[in-house]
Chains A and B, each alone.
Chain A
Amino acid sequence: MQFTLCLYPISEAQNPDGGPSAKPQGLEYVVLRFRLSFSLSSPWYTSSMPPRRHSVSTITDSEVRTLELLANTIRQDILTMLTTAGSGHSAGPLGMADIFTALYFHILQHRPKQPHWADRDRLFLSNGHIVPVRYAAMARAGYFPVDELSTLRKFGSRLQGHPEIRYLPSLENTSGPLGDGSSQAVGAAYAAKMDGAPWHTYCVMSDGELECGITWEAALFAAKYQLNNLTWIIDRNNIQIDGYTEDIMPLEPVHDKFAAFGWNVLEIDGHNIRDIINACDRGESTWEAPTVIIAHTIPGKGVSFMECEPSWHGKPPKNRTELTSALKDLRTLGGKISNESL
């Protein structure tokens, strides 16, 4: 049996803006919600906690620095790939470079030379259009030669415009149509729990796809079956193709929505390597619920003329000049340093 009592300061509860409360002072707290649930005959899925194999949070400052530099290299790879391809999305992949770096180089249990290793952690990608960042991270991790990145979106390439397991099985899933990848991650996590498998399922997804009904179907399911071996990472960059998410279809409060759905909700700065690693660690060690990490990111991060600009959502640098200027921006940390060799 579990009993949860949530107490909130009355001023906050009554008046989220923080202005003067109309209610009489003196009563400090008000009970907003409580949940009482009985589990006398627990269903099978409540009892299985996947074994922790490692603590991902252990990382030194110099290791963090190494990952930050690696993320910068991956951003340069992305811009070069996209310019060569002549089409594709810039903002999302740049914004997610730190998260993919942290995943592939610190968090995930995986073997690049043995991509079908049965106990590997599964990383699903739901917003397939940001796949260039995944390709770049995978190449740098050793899944395939870095040279192959220049074949992105070309005929005969394993690096399809949207990720395809038919061409590159180590991607785990095919995606592009929004909402499908997060549901598949839920299915994989459920199957892993059935089998008592030790691996964790991650899914990187966009904020825009929170507009898809299927996302919330899957959210209900994951909460019902207490998929503690599942972590969704939402790229909260506030943009989608037609503009800002809050103009297109307001999503806030995202945190409260997931909390109401019964998820363990974490919010992080999606560019802070240590934040990313700590949040994933908490996700892997949460017992009762699936975890969603709302990663606040800056679309186009690292290239000043792309940052926070919706028009860069769905296009690449248009020529070598634009590419050179973007790469220079990355190598000099936005002009903060003059030497381009970081």
Chain B
Amino acid sequence: MTVRASAKLVRDLFAKTIKTEPTRNGFGRGLVIAGKNDARVVALCADLSESTRVLDFKNAFPNRFIQMGVSEQSLAAIASGMALAGKIPFIASYAAFSPGRNWEQIRTTGCIQNVNLKIVGSHAGISVGADGATHQMTEDIALMRVLPNMTVLCPCDALEAEKATVAAAAIDGPVYLRLGREATPIFTTPSSPFEIGKAQTLTKGNDVAIIACGALVYEALKAARDCEKLGIEVRVINCPSIKPLDEETIIAAAQECGAIVTVEEAQIAGGLGGAVCELLSQECPVPILRIGMHDEFGQSGTPAELLEYYRMTAPWIVKAVKQAMKKKG
């Protein structure tokens, strides 16, 4: 497996000692940076300031932190009202509640009005673990991606989450930032590129391309390493910007590799897998295998047990890569 130098990943990717941290921690730091960059940035939280990591911002800027209580609908609409009055509000909760419960308010007050409403959905995906299906949000990408004017970001590690937060504050319009609960490896570096609308090609390979988002990008890298032993050169693409999608990079991958595997911790219908299928069926139809939730809800368990059960770990990605090789003939 050849890591591209331009990806600027950590030197020893698969070291057992690799540092791990939840992406929500990166968001917490990024929000403080965004707050320092721009006095208009404010944070609203629906009774989850510690676990969404808004607490850092609250401590840094107590007068710009707004405690909402458990009220996700008004969380979105009040924040939009603040945006109309010139603020850049970040609203933070668990993804199951926001954008899970307040989709209409996000649509009407955030997207139709096209205001600076930044929605931060923590505890997304099944790796939430023991809390079970009610708290494992897997439909959020589809819910947010379908909204006109919305930008959808799903960073791969805590460092990228920090960059995504700063970037979200700097662009005009509504943004959805998807975060995970569990500590996952930090494999990018401060100099790794991040730009809204861009995907990063992490490894060289022309046999199959894996397009992944969130913490599972690391599983995709492990799968690429294991595929190499089978003589398959895999191109791993980190796709944190699900909308706008980096069409150029994805079409090039389809043309040059001839088969795609998508990997996400979300419903494949309407998720990253859906987005890639929509693009490539029109621009460059190739076999696509989608790893993610297949029209079902999660359950309680450890994150490792659940990722294994729902077939999202590296060995399952290797299997999908082999199938994709077969399909392209």
Contacts and interface: CB of A to CB of B under 8 A. Distances in A.
Interface of A: 44, 122, 124, 164-166, 172-177, 179-180, 183-192, 194-195, 197, 213-214, 217-218, 220-221
10 contacts: A44-B63, A175-B108, A184-B77, A184-B78, A188-B85, A191-B82, A191-B87, A217-B74, A218-B78, A221-B74
Contact of A184 (B66, B68, B69, B81): B81
B73 interface: yes
B77 A213 contact: no
Contact of B80 (A187, A189, A195, A221): A187
Given A164-B112, A194-B42, A217-B71, 19 more contacts: A124-B81, A166-B113, A172-B84, A173-B84, A180-B108, A183-B81, A183-B109, A184-B77, A188-B82, A188-B84, A189-B81, A190-B66, A190-B78, A191-B87, A197-B85, A214-B73, A214-B77, A221-B68, A221-B69
A9 B113 CA distance: 50
A220 B108 contact: no
Contacts of A166: 112-114
Nearest to B73: A214
B112 A185 contact: no
Q: By CB atoms of chain A within 10 A, which of B63, B81, B109 has the most?
A: B81
Contacts of A176: 108
Interface in B40-69: 42, 63-64, 66, 68-69
Given A166-B114, A180-B77, A214-B105, A221 B82 contact: no
Contacts of B68: 221
A192 B42 CA distance: 13
Interface of B is mostly: helix
Contacts of B73: 179, 183, 213-214, 217
A186 B85 contact: no
Nearest to B69: A220
Contact of B113 (A173, A191, A214): A173
Interface residues of B, number: 28
Given A174-B108, A180-B105, A194 B78 contact: no
A192 B86 CA distance: 9
Nearest to A187: B81
Contact of B109 (A122, A184, A217): A184
A191 B114 contact: no
A100 B74 CA distance: 26
Main DSSP-derived SS at the A contact region: helix
Tell me which of A165, A175, A186, A187 has the highest count of chain B C-beta atoms within 10 A of its own C-beta.
Answer: A187
Nearest to B104: A177
Interface of B: 42, 63-64, 66, 68-69, 71, 73-74, 77-87, 89, 104-105, 108-109, 112-114
B195 to A, nearest CB: 27
A44 B66 CA distance: 12
A180 B109 contact: yes
Nearest to B70: A217
A187 B63 contact: no
A183 to B, nearest CB: 3
B101 to A, nearest CB: 10
B306 to A, nearest CB: 32
B49 to A, nearest CB: 16
A192 B85 contact: yes
**Which interface residue of A195, A213, A218, A221 has the most chain B CB atoms within 10 A?**
A221
A30 B84 CA distance: 47
A89 B115 CA distance: 28
A214 B74 contact: yes
A171 to B, nearest CB: 10
Contacts of B112: 164, 166, 174
A71 B53 CA distance: 52
A190 B74 contact: no
B87 A184 contact: no
A194 B104 CA distance: 27
A213 B64 CA distance: 26
Contacts of B63: 44, 194
Contacts of B83: 187
When A and B form their complex, which 9 residue pairs have the shortest distance between CB atoms, in order from nearest?
A187-B81, A184-B81, A183-B77, A191-B85, A217-B74, A217-B71, A187-B78, A214-B73, A187-B82
A174 B87 CA distance: 17
A221 B83 CA distance: 17
A172 B83 CA distance: 12
Contact of B84 (A164, A187, A194): A187
Contacts of A122: 85
Contacts of A190: 66, 78, 81-82
Contacts of A124: 81
A209 to B, nearest CB: 12
A109 to B, nearest CB: 16
A268 B248 CA distance: 62
A187 B108 contact: no
Nearest to A184: B81
Contacts of B105: 177, 180, 183, 214
Contact of B71 (A173, A180, A187, A220): A220
Given A174-B109, A174-B112, A191 B81 contact: yes
A183 B69 CA distance: 14
Contacts of B64: 194
Most buried by B among A124, A177, A184, A191: A184
